[in-house]
Structure 1
Amino acid sequence: MKKGFRFLLKTIMWFMVITFAFVVLFKWVPVPVTPLMVIRYFEQDSEKRTFWKHDWESIDNISKNLQLAVICSEDQNFLNHNGFDIEAIEKAFEYNKKGKRVRGGSTISQQTAKNVFLWPQRSWLRKGLETYFTFLIEVIWSKERIMEVYLNSIEMGKGVYGAEAAAQYWFKKPAARLTQYEAAAIAAVLPSPQRYKASPASPYIQGRKAWIVKQMHFYGPFSYDKK
């Protein structure tokens, strides 16, 4: 019994040490690959299997339009919360009790933690680890770094990951040159990037895009120093 307890304690300790080291490392080093990229790769037909499109870019080379578009579409309290938007979680909980479609309450920080360190399937274990990694990145990384990692690792189309790859894939231009409407189109597909296209946009995505642009105008200029 004591040996089992010691083993469990050591396992937890080493898990915390290793994960802490990775979070510190990724504060400075680009994230080369995520679990989702690998999972999506092996989900493909073995005969038609192709590697993912993923080009890391500094946040200075990613249009402010795209940064604002994902804030407005995914997490408007991103600059103010500490990783968790309790009000959004409560609203999502109430919505899911009444509606048939599941609505998420995850912040950009939570999505970043999941994308970089975890797997996509829903489970209590994954949710618990997501909470742990969200806490770590909020403490160790800046908001700007969280956004940089998020925009470089999130899925933005079939086999397309990150802002630069998405900008080139959807609009044949660098991420630095995305217009408001192009940025909004990419942000509009994020809830289901395997299903929707940023270009040409369906009527649904056109509606989402118009709503995001309107929110961007309401939101106005932003700064990562804001707390």
Structure 2
Amino acid sequence: MIRRVLFRFRRWIIWGLLVVLFAPLALTVVYRFVPPPITPLMVIRLVEGQGLTRDWVSWDEISPHLKRAAVAAEDNLFCEHDGFDWGSLESAVKAYAEGRRAGGGSTISMQTAKNLFLWPKRSILRKVLELPLTTALEVLWPKQRILEVYLNIAEWGPGIYGVEAAARANFRTSAKDLSLRQASQLVAVLPSPLNWRANPPGDYVAGRAATIRKRVGQLGPLLDCIGG
């Protein structure tokens, strides 16, 4: 009897591990073509009572200004790297090991993997899990799909997900019609969307947005994978 129970328990563990290992890979293949219906962060915020406002828009319905501003703000080497900015990641790991705040090191690809499959709270475990998930995105998706999904599932404010909802909430316009100034103000709040506002922007957000606009003009070929 005990042996039978142990056998079943072991089988459940094996099946559980297989699901944990292969479910994200299967979903990555599906999400290459299908908009993700919901993410762990959205569920967490719903439980916290923040609501959920979101309207998926395709690549062609997103302003080129926003695409460029997002790369300029979040990941200058997005078009060049394989999912990881190893220099920044190494600096972040050293900072964490030394007990300092480990900022930086997270690319748009890594943030997309995290937002799709993982939880928001920082931890070594989450960072380790981001590595294979990010690699899968880079292998199975083109760069434009990664950025498209990122912009559609990112948190832009309390209960606001995706750039279409963010554009309408902040500027009463569509994601497609965002100007460079509006786009830069939106992406300027991404590091802390629950604490900063895109419109009207505070002094810090306004200054960061101005820096982003300047950087967009400087990146040149580093924006080639985004296109028009």
Match of 1:186 in 2: 186
Match of 1:76 in 2: 76
Q: Aligned pair in 2 of structure 1 residues 99, 168: CA closer, same or farther (>3 Å)?
A: farther
2:196 counterpart of 1:196: yes
TM-score by length of structure 1 reads 0.88
Q: Aligned pair in 2 of structure 1 residues 156, 104: CA closer, same or farther (>3 Å)?
A: same
The aligned amino acid for 2:84 is F
Q: Aligned pair in 2 of structure 1 residues 128, 192: CA closer, same or farther (>3 Å)?
A: same
Match of 2:67 in 1: 67
3-state DSSP of counterpart to 1:92:
helix
Cα RMSD for the two superposed structures: 2.3
Match of 1:36 in 2: 41
Residue 83 of structure 1: how far off its partner (Å): 0.8
What does 1:135-214 align with in structure 2 at a 5 Å threshold?
Answer: 135-214=135-214
TM-score by length of structure 2 reads 0.88
3-state DSSP of counterpart to 2:17:
helix
Higher mean displacement: 157-166 or 118-127: 118-127
Which ranges of structure 1 fall in alignment gaps of 5 or more residues?
A: 45-49
Residue 102 of structure 1: how far off its partner (Å): 4.2
Residue 5 of structure 1: how far off its partner (Å): 7.1
How many residues are aligned here?
221
Residue 34 of structure 1: how far off its partner (Å): 1.0
What does 1:104-115 align with in structure 2 at a 5 Å threshold?
Answer: 104-115=104-115
3-state DSSP of counterpart to 1:218:
helix
Residue 20 of structure 1: how far off its partner (Å): 1.5
Residue 220 of structure 1: how far off its partner (Å): 3.1
The aligned amino acid for 2:224 is S
Match of 1:55 in 2: 55
- Equivalent-residue separation in structure 2 for 1:176 and 1:66 (angstroms): 9
Higher mean displacement: 105-114 or 35-44: 35-44
3-state DSSP of counterpart to 1:79:
coil
What does 1:80-91 align with in structure 2 at a 5 Å threshold?
Answer: 80-91=80-91
**Deviation digits for residues 9-64 of structure 1 (CA, Å, limit 9, x no counterpart):** 544333333222111000000111111111111113xxxxx531110000110001
3-state DSSP of counterpart to 1:220:
helix
Match of 1:103 in 2: 103
Which ranges of structure 2 fall in alignment gaps of 5 or more residues?
A: none
3-state DSSP of counterpart to 2:71:
helix
Residue 104 of structure 1: how far off its partner (Å): 2.4
The aligned amino acid for 2:28 is V
Higher mean displacement: 8-17 or 100-109: 8-17
